[in-house]
Amino acid sequence: MTTIDVSSLLSQMRRISSQADLPPANPIGEISPATKESFGNLLKQSIEGVAKTQEKAGQLAAGFERGDPGVDLAQVMIQGQKADLSFRAMTEVRNKMVDAYKEIMNMSL
């Protein structure tokens, strides 16, 4: 097993970062603008995304059933699978949130 000289490793890391000329990382406690979005808005947007995916799958299926020349079976199947996968993911997120809520409610104060 080899030993690592921490000071030489740190100096190498500093030298490489200075050569890369990268901006310093955000200090701990500083909030970037991207994290200021509320959780409720994020959840609403994801649910709307799932609904749009399902709507698009329904429209493609209806177009295929009508015999639309621009819609083929592969498109319908792929969009249907995307809608199914996004709905399953949303359901799993919901289940995890319900479990977390139940766990918080069972905590003693």
Q: How far apart are CA 66 and CA 76, in angstroms?
A: 13
- Average pLDDT, stretch 18-44? 67
Q: Is 45 domain-assigned?
A: yes
pLDDT given at position 81: 96
Structure token pair of residue 95:
């289940």
Does 26 score more than 80 pLDDT? no
pLDDT given at position 32: 59
For residue 89, what are the domain limits?
A: 38-109
- Average pLDDT, stretch 68-88? 94
Q: Is 20 domain-assigned?
A: no
Total domains present in the chain = 1
pLDDT given at position 11: 76
Q: Is 56 domain-assigned?
A: yes
What confidence category does residue 1 fall into, taking pLDDT thresholds of 50, 70 and 90?
very low
Q: Is 19 domain-assigned?
A: no
- Average pLDDT, stretch 20-39? 62
